[in-house]
Amino acid sequence: MNTKKLFDSLTGMYRPYVKLFQPIFEEYDLFSAQWLVLKDIALNEPTTLVQISKRRAIEKPTTRKILKVLSDKSLLTIKQGNDKRERILTLSKAGTELFEDMSKQFDRIQGNIVERSGITAEEADITIKTVLALHEQLSNLEEE
Terminal Cα distance for the chain, rounded: 26
Residue 143 is predicted with a pLDDT of: 73
Judged by DSSP in three states, 80 sits in strand
* Residues above pLDDT 70, as percent of the chain: 100
Q: What is the dihedral of CA 52, 10, 33, 94, to 10 degrees?
A: -80
Whole-angstrom distance, CA of residue 108 vs CA of residue 125 = 19
| Domain residue limits, the chain | 3-143
Judged by DSSP in three states, 47 sits in strand
Whole-angstrom distance, CA of residue 103 vs CA of residue 96 = 10
Average pLDDT, stretch 65-87? 93
Average pLDDT, stretch 62-73? 97
* Residues above pLDDT 90, as percent of the chain: 83
Pick the CATH number of 3-143 from 3.40.50.720, 2.60.120.860, 3.30.1130.10, 1.10.10.10: 1.10.10.10
Q: Is the pLDDT assigned to residue 86 strictly greater than 90? A: no
Whole-angstrom distance, CA of residue 70 vs CA of residue 90 = 11
Higher-confidence residue: 85 or 52? 52
Q: Is the pLDDT assigned to residue 59 strictly greater than 90? A: yes
Average pLDDT, stretch 8-24? 93
Residue 83 is predicted with a pLDDT of: 83
The dihedral of CA 56, 72, 47, 90: what is its sign?
negative
Q: Is the pLDDT assigned to residue 57 strictly greater than 80? A: yes
What's the pLDDT band for 140 if we cut at 50, 70, 90? confident
Judged by DSSP in three states, 5 sits in helix
Q: Is 71 left (phi over 0), alpha (psi -120 to 50) or beta?
A: alpha
Whole-model pTM above 0.75?
A: yes
Q: Is the pLDDT assigned to residue 141 strictly greater than 90? A: no
Residue 23 is predicted with a pLDDT of: 96
Whole-angstrom distance, CA of residue 70 vs CA of residue 15 = 24
Angle at CA 106, nearest 5°, toward 125 and 134? Answer: 35
